[in-house]
Every structure is written in structure tokens, then in C-alpha cells.
Structure 1
């Protein structure tokens, strides 16, 4: 997942960093690398601090992925501080870079995870990468499952969204990507 995230950061870093006169050219690569590690560590921190509800909301697409989203806000603030501290960027420049990149990158990450035709990002891989341990991963997946109940994903009527429901969907509706697509609202 880290490699795919790096690609997204580089993609969105061009306009927010490389073409930004407030970021000295000698810091372009460092700023992009810092954005990458801050996003990954920020998601891990949210997971470790019990932010399953926030992460589930982010990955389910139930909350807008913009500067009003608490996950986006937390990671944006962390990146702003890191850029000022490590590269001496002004608070205005740090804020511009962070708020220009973080929402776009997270939005793209979620959209790729929701896209059944894009196998480069899988929601379970993302959750496992950021959770660090199975207890956290299962907690986040339980929260996503709760959202799944709200969206009618209980395929076998047993009162929970679990592997059995995935099997029902995979046999009848386009495999695991069909289930993930249905979970996140893709048609």
C-alpha cells in the first residue's frame, strides 16, 4: 500500500509542491516524501487511537473528503507542522501545501479503493497496513460492517456482514470486488 500511496502523493505533489514558488526547489523531493510519510503515519495514528469510526466514515465515503473531514484535518495539521519544522516553510506555505494535497490524495485513495475495476488498492489491505495489529483491523472492519448493515449488505440475512455475505456476493455478483463495490456504493 505504501508504494501506491507514494504514487498518489507524487501525482498530486506536482502542483502543490513542484509548481509552488513558496517551496524552494531543493526541498521539492523532501516535501513530497514528508507528505507521503505523514499521511501513512497519520492514518496509523488515528487507527491506534481508536479512530475506527472516523476511518470507516472516510473509507465508506459517508463523509466528504475535504478540509471539514476530521481525518483530513488531523493529517493536514500534522503535515503543516512537519513542513515548517523540517523545511523552514512559512505557516502560510505549509498550510497551502498540506491543504492542497491531503484532501486530493485521500479522496483519490478512497475512490481507488472503492473502484471494483482498480485492483491497485484494496480496502482490506489499506486497513491492515494502517492498523498494525489484527485487533485494530478487526475493529475498523467491524465498524465498516456496521455501515454495511445500513446499506443492505447482509446477503444471507444472519444479522451481520461477514465472510458468508462475501461468499454470497462473490458467487452471484462479480466476486470480491463486487462486494467491496457494493459496500462502498459502486454500482
Structure 2
């Protein structure tokens, strides 16, 4: 997956890195590598810290990546820090590069992952790579579907406490005969 991610960053780095006068040509590949590392490690750290909802939300965005998304901000911030420290890039140039490159690459990654005709990226492959294979056997596409529409009971575009309360309420109505916590949990998990 890392090789494909490097290629994706390279495809999107022409203006922000290669044609950028603030980056010497001999550092282009290193900066592209640093951007790739920032994206991979940012996604990996988010998963390791339990921010699965944010990562799944990113992959459910149809390629429209919000640059104000906390996950995107974290990845961009790490890239800015690394560019200023490792390449002596001034903070303004580093911020401009990250603000342009990171959302664009993540948007391309999401589009390619969600495109059934493009088998270069898959959600299972990405998560497997980021977690060291600990997602083997999980149906991440199905899980994404639950995040996308199945759990968004109030239709507001996110999964939050209102959705949870709606699922519990519906579960209680559907499971009135069985009652108790089992009935509520049955409604939550669609049983």
C-alpha cells in the first residue's frame, strides 16, 4: 500500500512540490516521501488511538475532504513540522504546501478506494496495512456502509448520540416482548 500511496502523492505533487521554488529540486523526492509518511502515520496513529469513526468518516466522504477535518489538520500539522525541521522550509511555505497537498492526496485516495473499477486501493488493504494486518477477516466495506447510512438514523450526516438514542428507542419498540437490556441491544444491532 505504501508504494501506491507514494505514487498517489507523486501524481498530486507537481505544483506543490516539484514546481515549488522554495523546495530545491534535489529535495523533491524526499519531500514527497515525507508527505507520504505523514499521511500513512497520521492514519495509523488515528486508528491506534481509537479514532476509527474519524478515519471511516474520511473514507465515506466521496473524495470531498474537508481541510478543517481534525484528522486532516493533524496530518497537515505533522507534515508542516517535519518540513520546517528536516528541510528548513519556512513555516509559511510549509503550511501552504501541506494545505494544498494533504487534502488533495487524501481526496484522491478516498476516490480510488471507493471506485470499484480501481483495484489499486481497497479499504481492507489500506486498513490492513495501517494496522499490521489486524483487520484481516473484517468486512470493512460493510462497516463503512453502517457508518455511512445504517447508523445515521436521523439522516443528519453523522453518527452521534441522537442516532444511538433512536436505535435504542426503535429497539425497545421492536423488542417490547423480550424487554430488558437484551431487547434494547437487539434493536441497536438490528436483531
What is the TM-score of this pair, normalised by structure 1?
0.73
Q: For residues 137 and 44 of structure 1, do their structure 2 counterparts lie closer, same or farther at Cα, with a shift above 3 Å needed?
A: farther
Partner of 1:173: none
Name the stretch that deviates more: 135-144 or 37-46: 135-144
Which residue number corresponds to residue 159 of structure 1? 190
Q: Which residue pairs with 2:181 in the alignment? A: none
- List, as ranges, runs of 4+ consecutive aligned residues in structure 1 with deviation greater than 4 Å: 135-143
Q: Which has the larger radius of gyration?
A: 2
Which 5+ residue runs of structure 2 have no aligned equivalent? 154-188
State the alpha-carbon separation in 2 of the partners of residues 137 and 35 from structure 1.
Answer: 30
- Give the match for residue 53 of structure 1: 53
Paired positions, count: 155
Unmatched 5+ stretches in structure 1: 153-157, 161-187
Structure of greater relative contact order (alpha carbons < 8 Å, 6+ residues apart): 1
- Deviation of the 1:61 alpha carbon: 1.3
CA offsets per residue over residues 51-80 of structure 1, 9 Å max, x none? 101001001117941311111111000000
Q: CA-atom RMSD, angstroms?
A: 2.8
Superimposed CA distance per residue, residues 140-169 of structure 1 (whole angstroms, 9 cap, x where no aligned partner) = 7786353152489xxxxx838xxxxxxxxx
Q: How does 1:35-184 map to 2 (within 5 A)?
A: 35-61=35-61, 64-132=64-132, 134=134, 144=144, 146-148=146-148, 149-150=150-151, 159=190
Q: Contact 1:131–1:137 (CA<8 Å) still a contact in 2?
A: no
d(CA) in 2 for partners of 1:95, 1:137: 39
Equivalent pair of 2:17/2:28 in contact (CA under 8 Å): yes
Q: Distance in 2 between matches of 1:48 and 1:123?
A: 16
| Alpha carbons 1:112, 1:121 under 8 Å: kept | yes
Residues 17 and 32, structure 1, Cα contact 8 Å, conserved in 2:
yes
| Structure 1 position 23, deviation (Å) | 1.4
